Structure formats: structure tokens, C-alpha cells
Amino acid sequence: MTYAIDLVEPLRVSAVSTSASQPSPKDTPTGSASTMTPSCSSRRPRPAAEYAITQLFFRADDYFSLVERVRALGNDIPIVPGIMPILNFAQVSRMAELSGAEMPAEVLEQILPIQDDKAAVRAKGIELATQLCRDLLAGGAPGLHFITLNRSKATREIFEALRSEGLV
């Protein structure tokens, strides 16, 4: 199998009720976003996946750019943004590196000065993720998918902040 759709298609035929694919908003080690996006969105007239959840990213503009590219290919599949709050800088930095996600300068400028202070990184990571979620929801994202790595407390804090603002 070369593409996620190669795995998803047989699952859908096997009567799985819901399936998803994972497009990447940015270039990855195995190809560019422009080659990954068509793999999940245009190899067939209608993809087998019912929705997609992106890999982690740190800027709302990256998500909206991906959505525009997929729509330009004639596909209206819902694309849910994958959010990974920075709670452990070394861990998230490594995951971003492995997935090909860019750690933007504006994020690094806020995290690098405090990277050795775990509590400060956690607080700033939650703040950044909460703002990212605000921007995504304001821009029309169909929902949010949190990559928690068994750290759901931070996700609950983000959700509570969004709920207190009437966003969810």
C-alpha cells in the first residue's frame, strides 16, 4: 500500500460505518503536501474516507491552505484539524520533525526561552493551542481532534476555555 486510501477503501467495502484519512498540511519526509493531499482526496471520484483528520500543525493558515487545495481538487470531504498542545517541548518537537510538520518561528519564539521550565511550557502550550482552536473554529473548521498522548487534562482545559467563550 502506498496511500492511506489503499487501506481505507477495503475497510469501507467491509461495512465499516466510519472511516478517515490523514492528510498533511505541510511537506512530509515522504513527499510534499501537494502529493499527499491528492492521495487522500482525488485518486477516486469520491474517496472511501468519510472525513479526514490532519496531522499536527501549529498555524491555522496551514490548515486552511490544505482545505483550499483539497477543495480545488473537487473534493468536499470534511477535514478535521489535528491539534497537539505543546506540553513537552522536546516530545512535540520530535513528533513534528518525524511527521514533517514545521515548528513555526512565532511558536519557537514563545517556547524556546522557557523550554526548561515544564510548567511554563505547559501553560504556554495550552495558551497557543487554545488560540489555534479559536482561529480554526472562527474560520469554519468542522470540529477539532486532539492528539493527547495520554495527557487529556490539557485538552479538557482547552475545551473548558472554548466552552466558556461559547465556541463549543
pLDDT digits (tens, 9 = 90+) for 15-74: 334 445 556 665 444 444 443 344 444 444 455 678 999 999 999 999 999 999 999 999
Mean pLDDT of 5-22: 48
The residue range of the domain holding 79 is 4-164
Per residue in 67-97, pLDDT tens? 999 999 999 999 999 999 999 999 999 988 8
Residue 109 belongs to domain with CATH number: 3.20.20.220
C-beta of residue 138 within 8 angstroms of C-beta of residue 113 = no
Q: Say whether 125 sits in a helix, a strand or coil.
A: helix
Over residues 86-113, the mean pLDDT reads 92
Task: Compute the distance between CA of residue 109 and CA of residue 112 in angstroms, rounded to an integer.
Answer: 6
Q: How many domains does the chain have?
A: 1
Quote the CA–CA distance of 39 and 58 in Å, as a whole number.
23
Provide the greatest CA pair distance for the chain: 51
Q: Which residues contact 94 (CB under 8 A, 6 or more apart)?
A: none
pLDDT of residue 17: 40
The pTM is what?
0.76
